Chain A
Amino acid sequence: MQPALRQSEEMALVVEITQADLLPDLITNLERSGCVAERLAAAACRVRDLGAANYAEARLELAFFVRAWQLGHPGVDAVISE
């Protein structure tokens, strides 16, 4: 396996949202996008396989995705962390 690919696959970010009941919907949407998303806590999930070249790009694209998802769920706040 190429080092860059391994790094991409191992890269993970955590998304925490303010409405726990919407976490399954967020996870489903992330999985439809080819990511692996696993529940970490009632309102948080870890997202892997983002396909990005580095953490900065992964965070940027995940943030864009979460913002777009929030459009359909107004009032939900989110925090992304490593």
Chain B
Amino acid sequence: MRRLKVLIADDHQLMIHAIRLALEDNDDIEIVAEADSGSKVLPLIGQTSPDLVLLDMRMPGMDGLKVLERVRERYPKVRVAILSAVDDPSVIQAAFHRGASAYIVKHIDPRDLAAAIRQAIAGAVFQPLGLIERAADTAAREADLSKRELTILQALQSGRSNKQIAGELFLAEQTVKFHLTNIYRKLGVNSRTEAVRYAYEHGLADRLAYEVA
């Protein structure tokens, strides 16, 4: 089996280590190099011939968009997937316009990273992973929900318990309960079932994922 060769470009060792942890059980993926600045990426591509560069947007030396442009010019067969904390739609659009195969926001569950890499290498161009939909953002603003409250509301739609939501978002269970109380008040509902229905009907959630009364 040919392994998929990945070059990681991120100036934060924490992220490089996390990506290694996320990919270490995927035998079909090999990390061939790490770059801690934008200017190191092109030379390392020349030395290691990766299938894909997993590229941070904010890097010293040369920013992610500039690196992306240079990679597409000099190594058009090498795919580039952006992995970034930046979720500004104009930046995401700019990345796709310059030839990114994927845009992955760092909210992504690390378990999904390997699949995203495989899809990007296979040629599937896809929209931001880990990013809350803009339409939902707009609806949330109209309902005066904070980003955190929207995230919790969207987690509710899959039927997760408070404990599960707390675990996924690294919050205390009590904090989730606090946010839920505020969500109910802002939406004018009295239960999680009503909140889920409200979210579905007002574009805050994309599907009615569990049976509501």
Contact = CB atoms under 8 A, between A and B. Distances in A.
Interface of A: 29-30, 32-35, 50-53, 56-57, 60-69, 71-72, 77-81
Interface string B18-35: 110110010000000000
Nearest to A80: B170
Contact of A64 (B25, B110, B172): B110
A68 B17 CA distance: 9
B106 interface: yes
A51 B110 contact: no
Interface in B69-118: 85, 106-111
B22 A68 contact: yes
What size tier do the contact residues of chain B reach? 20 to 34
Given A60-B85, A61-B85, A79-B170, A67 B109 contact: yes
A65 B170 contact: no
B17 A33 contact: yes
Given A53-B58, A77-B167, A79-B166, A60 B107 contact: yes
A61 B12 contact: yes
A65 B15 CA distance: 7
B18 A61 contact: yes
Contacts of A51: 11-14
Interface string B31-74: 00000000000000000000000000010000000000000000
Contacts of A79: 166, 170-172
Contacts of A33: 13-14, 16-18
A81 B185 CA distance: 25
Contacts of A53: 58
Contacts of A35: 14
A29 B109 contact: no
A23 B27 CA distance: 28
A21 to B, nearest CB: 19
Contacts of B109: 67
A25 to B, nearest CB: 12
29 contacts: A29-B17, A29-B21, A33-B14, A33-B16, A34-B12, A34-B14, A50-B12, A52-B12, A53-B58, A56-B85, A60-B106, A60-B107, A61-B12, A61-B18, A61-B106, A62-B14, A64-B18, A64-B106, A64-B108, A64-B110, A67-B18, A68-B18, A68-B19, A68-B22, A68-B110, A71-B21, A71-B25, A71-B111, A79-B171
